[in-house]
Amino acid sequence: MLELKKLTKTYRTGDKALQDVTLTVPKGQVMALIGPSGAGKSTLIRCINRLVEPTSGSVILDGADITALGAGGLRKMRRRMGMIFQEYALVERLTVMENVLSGRLGYVGFWRSFLRKFPQSDVDEAFRLLDRVGLLEMADKRADELSGGQRQRVGIARALIQDPRLLLVDEPTASLDPKTSRQIMRLICELCAERDLAAVINIHDVALAQMFVERIVGLKAGELAFDGKPTEMTEEVLTNIYGEEDWQATIRNVDDEEAEAALAAS
């Protein structure tokens, strides 16, 4: 569904953020992108919706080449790609409802959006999504009144109301505590499963990624360094991506996880 072909990004400073990245994400697959800071994870995700212009290569979503689109076509295409950010990137001084509805901006004309006269179907969907992420009673609160986890839920609702085919998720849990991180990751993965959405999730926390996703891709200095199942992540792989370190505690211990899950279920 999503295809990256020889995607390359060289910044004006000469930094090679991405080099010949070729990758295919099938429909409905949740994929984690790991790698050290500066490996190009953030650039890769932003090249997909062209918040960052790729230098060369192409990004193909459902057969359409995003890199070849003009301004209008790009905006139409962006509607189908929901994005979730590390620091939530909500418009702090707007209400939760306005933030969620801002996900519909690509579908609504300027004056309607300026006057906040969104179609009733959009408003219905916004309420439905707020209910789904558990923030129905917060609709009228200003975004800066919410806690980190709540803000990220609003961010998720904003991305989903776009009716996307693909979610681009940039470090969704980096500003959250461990428990909230798990809840947010679980929510994202559940929603992807419900809607058969593909997702690319940038994530620092390898253990968290292993816990939730079905495929992990490692990026090292702008190049693919690993592509496989979470169970295939070994100490050697991590050492290859991040460098020498004691990885014993990072890699998921399957028995522990199952014990924990059993405990939670009982």
Q: Does 69 bind other proteins (CB under 8 A)?
A: no
Alpha-carbon distance of 200 to 32, in angstroms, equals 6
* CA 137-169-71 angle, 5° bins: 100
Q: Does 2 bind other proteins (CB under 8 A)?
A: no
**Which residues in 4-43 contact other proteins (CB under 8 A)?**
none
Are residues 197 and 227 in contact, defined by beta-carbon separation less than 8 angstroms?
no
Q: Does 123 bind other proteins (CB under 8 A)?
A: no
CB closer to other proteins, 49 vs 210: 49
Q: Does 153 bind other proteins (CB under 8 A)?
A: no
- Binder to other proteins among 15, 38, 56, 92 (CB under 8 A)? 92
Query: Edge-to-edge strands of the sheet including 2-10?
Result: 16-25, 2-10, 56-61, 64-65
Q: Does 53 bind other proteins (CB under 8 A)?
A: no
Size of the site for other proteins (CB under 8 A): 31
- 222 by DSSP, 3-state: which? coil
Tokens read off for 57: 């290569």
- Binder to other proteins among 18, 30, 61, 90 (CB under 8 A)? 90
- How many beta carbons lie within 10 A of that of residue 218, not counting itself? 24
CB closer to other proteins, 92 vs 124: 92
Q: Does 77 bind other proteins (CB under 8 A)?
A: yes
Q: Does 102 bind other proteins (CB under 8 A)?
A: yes
- Binder to other proteins among 76, 186, 195, 229 (CB under 8 A)? 76
- Binder to other proteins among 2, 7, 23, 81 (CB under 8 A)? 81
- Binder to other proteins among 9, 78, 151, 165 (CB under 8 A)? 78
Alpha-carbon distance of 133 to 154, in angstroms, equals 8
- Binder to other proteins among 31, 66, 83, 130 (CB under 8 A)? 83
Are residues 250 and 234 in contact, defined by beta-carbon separation less than 8 angstroms?
no
| Three-state SS letters, 93-107 | CCEHHHHHHHHHHHH
CA 172 to chain centroid, in Å, comes to 7
- Which residue's structure tokens are 């690509």? 106
Binding site for other proteins (CB under 8 A): 49, 51, 75-79, 81, 83, 85, 87, 89-94, 98, 102-107, 110, 113-114, 155, 158, 162, 168
